[in-house]
Structure 1
Amino acid sequence: MDTDRRSADLLVIRLWTEVDGGIRMRVTSSTRLRLESERTQVVTSRREAVELVESWLDDVLGPVTRP
């Protein structure tokens, strides 16, 4: 029996290119794998992917304080 009760977090990005040269990414994430289901989102730009990753990191680690 697993006695380790620490929370596990997940972020997976799957990227592919479209025929027209565009990109598409499927981002699967969870901040508490044992307690919450995974969430899947599709984005079509680098900026959207970076925003999702930053938001996920804020959820996991807390927001970054910038001067």
Structure 2
Amino acid sequence: MIDFPKVLMIIGGILLVVGFFLQFIGKLPGDIVFKKGNTTVFFPIVTCIVVSIILSFVFSFFGRFK
């Protein structure tokens, strides 16, 4: 059985890293923002591409250990 405190520490570390990188979401060049009056429409095109590439590398890396 896996030690529960160790699992909690790993999950906490992962959440810390993810939270750090989420600060930059929406600030990449290429993300489209329309503001008119009280309405704001946000299209994070470049952010979605970057997240997709990163997740592809992560999943392919962990897929090799199967």
Q: Give me the TM-score of the superposition, normalised by structure 1.
A: 0.31
Higher strand share: 1
Which protein, 1 or 2, shows the higher relative CO under an 8 Å CA cutoff with sep ≥ 6? 1
